[in-house]
Amino acid sequence: MEISTVRRIIVRLVRKLQLPEYVFLVLVAFIIGVLAALGSYVFMKVIGFLWHSCFLPLLHFGQSSLFLHPIIAFIPLIVAFLLFLLAKISSPSIYGYGFPEFLVNVNLKGGIIRIREALAKISASIVTLGLGGSAGQEGPIAQIGGIVGVSISRFFVASEQRRRTFIACGAAGAIAAVFNAPIAGLFFALEIVLLGDFELTNFMPVVVSSGMGTITARALFGNQTAFKMPPYTFVSLWELFFYIFLGAVIGLLAYLFIRIFYKTKDYFRKMPCSPYSKPFIGLFMVGLIGMFFPQIFGVGYEQVQRVLNAEMSAQLMIILVFLKIIATAITLASGGVGGMFSPAFFIGAMAGGAFGAVVHHFFPQITAAYPAYAAVGIGAFLAALTHAPVTAVFLAFEMTGDYYIILPILFASITGLLVAYAFSRESIDTYELKQQGIDLHAGHERNILASIKVKNAMTPDVVVVPEDMTFKEFLAFVRDKKHTCFPVVNGKGELCGIISFQNFRKMLAEEGPKDHIRVKDLDTKEVVTITPEENLETAMEKMRYRHIERLPVTDPNNPKKLVGFLSQRDVLAAYNKALLTLMGREEISEKSET
């Protein structure tokens, strides 16, 4: 029996049962949670197999003698080669950090996810993480849940709103399964994936999926926390001040990480070579770091556990903070594939542990041992990096399994978030999108306008009016013209004003000769202009602010040189064209995946 036939039978049965919408959503969320957890389980197992069966033997072989030690630097090149093969089979779009694109697809493109491309990117992340790349597994895992949600939505031919809800259900189930953290899975989906959309229609099914993901994972992995931590003790109220100060340090580090990552990404983007060769360069650099500090390889949970077990010196932790930032930035900027959560755990644990070791050395009577600060650092750094404090607090709590740690995590996370926010209002996921003119909170229409440059919508052939033209000549001139607003130019052809009906309507009502009146006596001298490289959202804001319908487009290097004219009609035409193109691509994508 074909899948399409099965789908028709099930859809027909669901319609015949006439289930209330909330019952239908709960049942579907139940299924999505289980499937997302199973997908995450397979993902984790494959990464674990590559790590233990391939990467670690190669690493130990390189560490076996001084002569063989340089081999370690070349191990990540295996990742680059396998990524090259995957990119050739699918497309170069698999390269790099892909979670911001996932957020755009969910929130601005109606939940449209190209399943084949997403599967190729997940395969690339398995290769990157399983063979030593410095990145995280949570972004790809959330996308696994997203694929489950999209597939279910297509099966039931769901609306756009339901599709977004099902994707959030998948992400919640997958994250909850990986960390054995149902509350964190819930808030990850609502706070990060759906950008803080806590509507009841989303909340209820996401709760169900997160719970089912956790139950399924416990059946597969057992009921255990991601990290084992000695019992937390709150030694003194004075410690709250240390945790607040730790939060400030963490906030600075998070901002530094974001800046370094995107500076590194710009560097590799401008590198004059093929995108296929960039991972070879970047991952070799990661290998060189790993020759001397192999702790930076991979997801890094073993190293986090060492810190929580108090098995690492403060000096090494400080070094690893900065090396992990550099290694992660290079891995993902050069084309390696993965997420940011695991590096955030690593950096937060190392920074918190080092900070705790220092304060405990000087104030042993009023501070806990440094593993407590490392656990707090995990949550604080994640909050500052993602601007998602609720998710970070609950995730840190559920990963360590210690209720008493919530209060210091709250203090440190809020402080870290405020400090990071003071330097940049953008998180690790929205920083580059903002540079591209994409605002995840702005809505679909504004982002379409922001994606179109003025030069692609303007009218290049401009009808101009000489400033010495008489009023009588001007009336004859505009009689057969469609527009009522014209740029005024001087004898050199330079823009010197704007004249519209508003300028000369009073003159029409006045009696007496008007032959002596010229255009330059009536035009508006303060001209609002725009450049070809600006976007249509900016253009519309200028039009609304000044209550005008047309804008002169000028050369960015010479504000008096007119290169075009942009009207509201031009903006609308460009918007409609972009919208139709986008809808066509989505329709083709939907058909190709079914």
List, in sequence order, every beta strand (DSSP E) within 492-574: 495-500, 550-555, 558-567
Of the ranges 403-407, 440-444, 509-513, the best mean pLDDT one: 403-407
What the block records as the tokens of 368 is 């806990």
CB-CB neighbours of 110 under 10 Å = 16
Q: How many whole angstroms separate alpha carbon 140 and alpha carbon 45?
A: 14
If residue 201 lies in a helix (H) or strand (E), which one and from where to where? Answer: helix 200-221
The two beta strands, 465-466 and 495-500, are unpaired
Collect all residues with Cβ–Cβ distance below 8 Å to 109 and sequence separation of at least 6: 444, 582, 586
Partners of 535 in beta bridges: 453
Q: Choose among 249, 195, 187, 237: nearest CA to 415.
A: 249
Spacing of C-alpha 143 from chain mean position:
12
Instruction: Tell whether the torsion through CA atoms of 247, 250, 254 and 255 is positive or negative.
Output: positive
Q: Which CATH superfamily does the domain covering 3-227 fall into?
A: Clc chloride channel (1.10.3080.10)
Lowest-pLDDT choice from 115-124, 223-232, 259-268 = 223-232
- Amino acid 517: pLDDT: 78
What the block records as the tokens of 392 is 């970070």
Burial label for 459, CB within 10 Å (0-12, 13-18, 19+), is middle
State the alpha helices, DSSP H only, in 229-340. Answer: 239-270, 278-292, 301-308, 314-334
CB-CB neighbours of 283 under 10 Å = 32
Lowest-pLDDT choice from 119-128, 178-187, 485-494, 498-507 = 498-507
Do domains 3-227 and 239-446 share one topology? The answer is yes
Spacing of C-alpha 114 from chain mean position:
17
The helix/strand/coil state of 135 is coil
Lowest-pLDDT choice from 79-93, 153-167, 241-255 = 153-167
The correct answer on CATH 1.10.3080.10 for the domain covering 239-446 is yes
**pLDDT grade, residue 549 (50/70/90)?**
confident
DSSP assigned state of 563: E
Burial label for 466, CB within 10 Å (0-12, 13-18, 19+), is middle
Of the ranges 130-139, 486-495, 585-594, the best mean pLDDT one: 130-139
- Amino acid 582: pLDDT: 62
Of the ranges 59-68, 284-293, 473-482, the best mean pLDDT one: 284-293
Q: How many whole angstroms separate alpha carbon 35 and alpha carbon 273?
A: 41
The two beta strands, 550-555 and 558-567, are antiparallel
> Under a CB-based contact definition with an 8 Å cutoff, are residues 519 and 465 in contact?
yes
Q: How many whole angstroms separate alpha carbon 461 and alpha carbon 463?
A: 7
Q: How many whole angstroms separate alpha carbon 485 and alpha carbon 483?
A: 6
pLDDT at residue 1 tops 80: no
Mean pLDDT, range 28-56, rounded to an integer: 96
The two beta strands, 485-489 and 558-567, are unpaired
CA distances from 565 to 142, 324, 396, 538, 558 (A): 45, 50, 55, 15, 15
> Under a CB-based contact definition with an 8 Å cutoff, are residues 444 and 416 in contact?
no
CB-CB neighbours of 198 under 10 Å = 11
- In the chain, the amino acid numbered 397 is F
Q: How many whole angstroms separate alpha carbon 409 and alpha carbon 396?
A: 8
Lowest-pLDDT choice from 207-211, 311-315, 321-325, 456-460 = 456-460
Q: How many whole angstroms separate alpha carbon 543 and alpha carbon 511?
A: 33
572 vs 404, residue with greater confidence: 572
49 vs 470, residue with greater confidence: 49
- Amino acid 199: pLDDT: 78
Domain boundaries 453-580, corresponding CATH code = 3.10.580.10
- Amino acid 378: pLDDT: 95
> Under a CB-based contact definition with an 8 Å cutoff, are residues 30 and 149 in contact?
no
**pLDDT grade, residue 4 (50/70/90)?**
low
Q: How many whole angstroms separate alpha carbon 547 and alpha carbon 490?
A: 25
> Under a CB-based contact definition with an 8 Å cutoff, are residues 150 and 115 in contact?
yes
Tens-place pLDDT, residues 448-463: 788 789 999 998 888 8
DSSP assigned state of 320: H
What the block records as the tokens of 104 is 């755009």
Tens-place pLDDT, residues 226-236: 888 777 777 88
Mean pLDDT, range 163-188, rounded to an integer: 94
> Under a CB-based contact definition with an 8 Å cutoff, are residues 551 and 485 in contact?
no
CA distances from 12 to 2, 5, 22, 466, 590 (A): 16, 11, 18, 70, 21
**pLDDT grade, residue 588 (50/70/90)?**
very low
195 vs 175, residue with greater confidence: 175
Half-sphere exposure of 73 (CA within 13 A, CB side): 12
Tens-place pLDDT, residues 364-393: 999 999 999 999 999 999 999 999 999 999
Tens-place pLDDT, residues 12-26: 676 666 667 778 888
If residue 188 lies in a helix (H) or strand (E), which one and from where to where? Answer: none
The helix/strand/coil state of 361 is helix
pLDDT at residue 105 tops 70: yes
Q: How many whole angstroms separate alpha carbon 74 and alpha carbon 285?
A: 9
Mean pLDDT, range 77-104, rounded to an integer: 93
What the block records as the tokens of 156 is 């039931």
- Amino acid 22: pLDDT: 78
- Amino acid 532: pLDDT: 93
Query: Among all chains, which residue has been given the structure tokens 């079914």?
Result: 594
The two beta strands, 495-500 and 485-489, are antiparallel
Q: How many whole angstroms separate alpha carbon 179 and alpha carbon 217?
A: 9
- In the chain, the amino acid numbered 436 is Q
Q: Where are the domains of the chain?
A: 3-227, 239-446, 453-580
Query: Among all chains, which residue has been given the structure tokens 């084309």?
Result: 335
pLDDT at residue 527 tops 50: yes
- Amino acid 513: pLDDT: 63
Tens-place pLDDT, residues 393-441: 999 888 877 777 889 999 999 999 999 999 999 999 999 888 887 777 7
- Amino acid 514: pLDDT: 62
- Amino acid 77: pLDDT: 96
**pLDDT grade, residue 443 (50/70/90)?**
low
CB-CB neighbours of 24 under 10 Å = 16
> Under a CB-based contact definition with an 8 Å cutoff, are residues 139 and 145 in contact?
no
For all residues of the chain together, what is the average pLDDT? 88
